[in-house]
Amino acid sequence: MFNRSVFCLRKATLPILFLLAAPPCAAQHAAHTHGKAELNLVVGEDHQIVAELIVPAGSVYGFEHAARNPLEVARKEAGLNKLKAALASMLVLHRKAGCAVTVLGEVEEQAHPHHDHGHAHARHDRGGHSKTHETDHHNVMVHWTLQCGSTLRDQQLTVNWREVLPDIHQITVVLLTPDRQERLDLHKSGTVIRL
């Protein structure tokens, strides 16, 4: 899981390069894991943080398959809108840095193959015919930036997720700054990271 993400992040020496590299790297992320999310942060020398969040779709809108009916479409849209609205409060700098948040493109979904873990996934319809269980679990991926008016060096960043993603109990953060690269497993919303 980590090696592929780090390889993708190493390609990004500037946040804009990270954005160009992110779509091909997205397909390489590790298998879908319930209750866990990934947060990739690239801090540039130009007062900018580029963030990528990857979270199981079930934690965003309550199911992990393609929306099958109007009710599921509405639940999905509401969950995605809630997530987008929360991005500004998900990453909070301690000192006033005058940051503006910009969502980059639409929130994306990606499917991951479901592994059967040794048990059958056949369903039967009313006529007794077997139907194949859906084989994909979906993740939601969102990219956004914080463009700040002052330096980010030695800033402290609080990562808040519990309010918008209550099912997530761990976020793995890959942090790339001009000075270092670090991987952190956060188990508590409100955890502080030194930039």
- In the structure, what pLDDT confidence band is assigned to residue 193 with cuts at 50, 70 and 90? very high
Mean pLDDT over 124-150 rounds to 69
Indicate the average pLDDT of the chain.
76
Q: Is the pTM of this model over 0.75?
A: no
- In the structure, what pLDDT confidence band is assigned to residue 178 with cuts at 50, 70 and 90? very high
Query: What per-residue confidence (pLDDT) applies to 145?
Result: 92
- Helix pair angle (15-26, 2-10), 10° resolution: 140
